[in-house]
C-alpha cells in the first residue's frame, strides 16, 4: 500500500512539474501539448521513472513499426495498461490509467505522433503518422476495453515479435 501511495504522489508531482515544462519540449513537427498527460508519469523526455513508470522514449516508434503495434499503442493510451511488464530488463507492475473521455481521438493521435516522432532518436520516416480516424477505428474494434485487455494484447505481441519487441 505504501508503494502505491508513493506512485500516486510521484505521479501527482510529475503532473505538476510536467505540465510546466512539457510545452517547452517540442522542437520538431509535432507539438508536446497533447503529450502533457503522458509526461506526468513518463516525464517530458519520455525517460520514465525506473521501477515506477517505464520509459517510452525510443520504444514507441519500434512498437509502431511492428504488426499490431499501432493498435496496441492506441489501446494503451485509450484504456490504460495493467499487469507486470518488463522494459529494458526492469520489471514494472501497476496500472496505467486510460484516457477515455480525457483525450479525444485527435489528442491521442497527436500524443502518439509526438512520442513516435519527437521522442525517438532513430529514423522514423517509414512510419505513418497517427490520425484521429485510425484511433477511432481501433477503439471501435477493441473487444476488451480495459487496462487488462491492453496487457493481454501486449503479451500476445511480445510473444509474436520476440526479440523485435523493445
Q: What is the pLDDT of residues 84-133, one digit of tens each?
A: 999 999 999 989 999 998 999 999 999 999 999 999 999 888 999 999 99
Q: How confident is the model at residue 29 (pLDDT cuts 50, 70, 90)?
A: confident
Where does residue 162 rank: exposed (0-12), middle (13-18), buried (19+ CB within 10 A)? exposed
Instruction: Identify the H or E element spanning 79.
Output: helix 69-79
pLDDT(23) > 90: no
The phi, psi pair for 2, rounded to 5°, reads: -65, -40
- CA distances 4 to 38, 47, 93, Å, are 19, 20, 10
- For the entire predicted model, the pTM comes to 0.82
For residue range 32-75, what is the model confidence (pLDDT) as tens digits?
899 999 999 999 999 999 999 999 999 999 999 999 999 999 99
Residues ≥6 apart with Cβ < 8 Å to 23: 32, 33, 36
Q: How confident is the model at residue 151 (pLDDT cuts 50, 70, 90)?
A: very high
What CA–CA distance (Å, rounded) separates 83 from 72?
15
Q: Given this model, what pLDDT does residue 21 score?
A: 42
Cell of 45: 523526455
Residue pair 46/40 in contact by the 8 Å Cβ criterion: no
How much is the average pLDDT of 153-166?
Answer: 95
Q: How confident is the model at residue 157 (pLDDT cuts 50, 70, 90)?
A: very high
Q: List, in order of start, the domains of the chain with CATH numbers.
A: 2-164 (1.10.760.10)
pLDDT(149) > 60: yes
Residue pair 38/30 in contact by the 8 Å Cβ criterion: no
Residue pair 164/66 in contact by the 8 Å Cβ criterion: yes
pLDDT(9) > 60: no
Q: In the block, which residue shows the cell 525517438?
A: 120
Amino acid at each position: 500500500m505504501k508503494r502505491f501511495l508513493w506512485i500516486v504522489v510521484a505521479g501527482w508531482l510529475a503532473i505538476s512539474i510536467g505540465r510546466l515544462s512539457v510545452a517547452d519540449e517540442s522542437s520538431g513537427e509535432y507539438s508536446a501539448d497533447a503529450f502533457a498527460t503522458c509526461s506526468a508519469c513518463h516525464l517530458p523526455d519520455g525517460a520514465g521513472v525506473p521501477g515506477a513508470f517505464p520509459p517510452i522514449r525510443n520504444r514507441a516508434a519500434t512498437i509502431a513499426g511492428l504488426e499490431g503495434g499501432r493498435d496496441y499503442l492506441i489501446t494503451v493510451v485509450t484504456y490504460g495498461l495493467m499487469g507486470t511488464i518488463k522494459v529494458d530488463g526492469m520489471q514494472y507492475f501497476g496500472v496505467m490509467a486510460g484516457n477515455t473521455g480525457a483525450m479525444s481521438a485527435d489528442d491521442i493521435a497527436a500524443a502518439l505522433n509526438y512520442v513516435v516522432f519527437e521522442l525517438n532518436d532513430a529514423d522514423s520516416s517509414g512510419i505513418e503518422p497517427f490520425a484521429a480516424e485510425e484511433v477511432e477505428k481501433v477503439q471501435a474494434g477493441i473487444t476488451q476495453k480495459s487496462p487488462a485487455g491492453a496487457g493481454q494484447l501486449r503479451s500476445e505481441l511480445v510473444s509474436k515479435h520476440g526479440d523485435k519487441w523493445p
